[in-house]
Amino acid sequence: MIREELTEKILDIKREKGWTWKHITDEIGGMSPVLVIGALLGQHKLVKPLAKKAAALFGLTSAEEAMLNEVPYRGTGTSMPPTDPLIYRFYELVLVNGPAWKAIIEEEFGDGIMSAIDFNMEFEREPNPKGDRVKITMSGKFLPFKYYGNEQGIPDYGFKEA
């Protein structure tokens, strides 16, 4: 069994039952819905109690439950550049605005990155008379680039004598 087969099975059941993602994530609970959905789509791990709930909900075998609890090879669900327009727009935001984001974050925080691992994200619907808006709030830990060697006392040179 590979993860894609499990994802396909889960989507088949969702379709047959006519469930929404809201229903599914309400049932499974315990973690942000966007992560639970990501896991069911094969891009994240479900921690054990959630994998158990998911298995109960979808009637999965214990091997399938165990697979949901594994860390998948992430990033397999999106061709790059994304051909799907909804996902492409996010890609385009990075493509067009990447240099400005880099400038503004580095000026505020110094050399480093916003973590994509210690990261959370929330979606809101923003009512607007001209058309509702998708509001996304992201928050990632800033990780300063570490200039190693300037704290512990540095070796004389790149190659130490063994």
Give the residue numbers marked as catalytic: 89, 92, 115
For tokens 């594994």, the residue is 70
**Cis upstream peptide for 72 (omega within 30°):** no
Q: Does residue 59 bind its own copies (CB under 8 A)?
A: no
Count of residues of this chain found to bind its own copies when the rule CB under 8 A is applied: 117
What mask, x for binding its own copies by CB under 8 A, covers residues 10 to 39?
--x--xx-x-xxx--xx--xxxxxxx-xx-
Partner residues linked to 113 by β-bridges: 143
Question: How far apart are the C-alpha atoms of 132 and 106, rounded to whole Å?
Answer: 32
HSE-CB for 32 with a 13 A CA cutoff: 10
Determine, following the binding rule CB under 8 A, whether residue 124 of this chain makes contact with its own copies: yes
Contact between 56 and its own copies by CB under 8 A: the answer reads no
Give yes or no for residue 52 binding its own copies (CB under 8 A). no
Per-residue tokens: 67:
């697979």
Contact 27, 53 (CB under 8 A): yes
- Least distance to its own copies from the beta carbon of 153, Å? 11
Q: How far is the CB of 69 from its own copies (least distance, A)?
A: 9
Which listed residue (10, 57, 58, 107) binds its own copies by CB under 8 A?
107
* Binder of its own copies out of 27, 58, 59, 136 (CB under 8 A): 136
Residue 142 in contact with residue 115, Cβ under 8 Å? yes
CB of 56 to its own copies, least distance (A): 18
